[in-house]
Amino acid sequence: KNEVEQSPQNLTAQEGEFITINCSYSVGISALHWLQQHPGGGIVSLFMLSSGKKKHGRLIATINIQEKHSSLHITASHPRDSAVYICAVKNTGNQFYFGTGTSLTVIP
Amino acid sequence: NAGVTQTPKFQVLKTGQSMTLQCAQDMNHNSMYWYRQDPGMGLRLIYYSASEGTTDKGEVPNGYNVSRLNKREFSLRLESAAPSQTSVYFCASSDGGEAFFGQGTRLTVV
């Protein structure tokens, strides 16, 4: 049983394309996180959100609490965006549940 | 501000050997976590500590022990390593909001 489902699992895009990664969850949450993991590297937090929408540069994250769904958008994608993007939710007990990640490759 | 520091970065063990993975955070966070990451699977919680002096089992605790030595440090011990424990291990800490991760430990058990 996966509390967090992400799609797609793998994604290849041409540089400049608009990218969307989706996340659905089945548990009650206090917050949803989008994380980025580069090959061989650590994990960094991109967004934490509990409602609405947040934007950092070319990255936009949205969440619909009623539908238990979140999306991560990347505008004007660049090869340096190539990474694994992980959706994670935190319940009221401060426990995190993680999706299996979306592996993104942006081709020049 | 170093964030979460995790050591070692790489380790190879023989079956049956023991080792301790060290984790320290300098953000005064109460909550600390140990996860393992395996191909095709999301991060899975091994143990967590909600505060200094407390630890609780996560999803996959078998074969591991932890110590929350103080507020800063949370170590993970493998008493008798098995090939099934070959994985990438991440320590994380949180103040109830954003989570901060260590750089990971790539452990191979042969």
Q: Tell me if B88 sits within 8 A of B36, measured CB to CB.
A: yes
Provide the pLDDT for residue B42.
Answer: 84
Highest mean pLDDT among A86-95, B20-29, B38-47, B92-101: B20-29
Q: How far is B34 from A24, CA to CA, in rounded Å?
A: 24
* b (16+ CB within 10 A) / e for A20-55: ebebbbeeebebbbbbbbeeeebbebbbbbeeeeee
User: Is the per-residue pLDDT at B1 higher than 70?
Assistant: no
Cα(B26)–Cα(B23) distance, integer angstroms: 10
CA distance B22 to chain A (A): 16
Residues of A in contact with B94 (CB under 8 A): 90, 94, 96
- E-state strands within B38-98: 44-49, 56-57, 64-68, 74-78, 87-94
Q: Give me the count of residues in chain A.
A: 108
Supply A63's token pair. 């969440």
DSSP conformation class of B2: -
Residues in B touching A90 (Cβ below 8 Å): 94, 99
CB distance B43–A98 less than 8 Å? yes
pLDDT over 70, % of chain A: 99
Both structure tokens of A12: 């290849």
Q: Distance between CA B105 and CA B7 in Å, rounded?
A: 7
For B2-40, what is each residue's pLDDT tens digit? Answer: 799 999 999 999 999 999 999 999 999 999 999 999 988
Residue with tokens 């994604």: A11
Q: Please report the pLDDT score of residue A46 as a whole number.
A: 94
B31 in reach of chain A (CB within 8 A):
yes
Q: How far is A42 from chain B (nearest CA, A)?
A: 4
Tell me if B43 and A96 make a contact (CB, 8 A cut-off): yes
- Among A2, A4, A96, the residue with its CB nearest the CB of B99 is A96
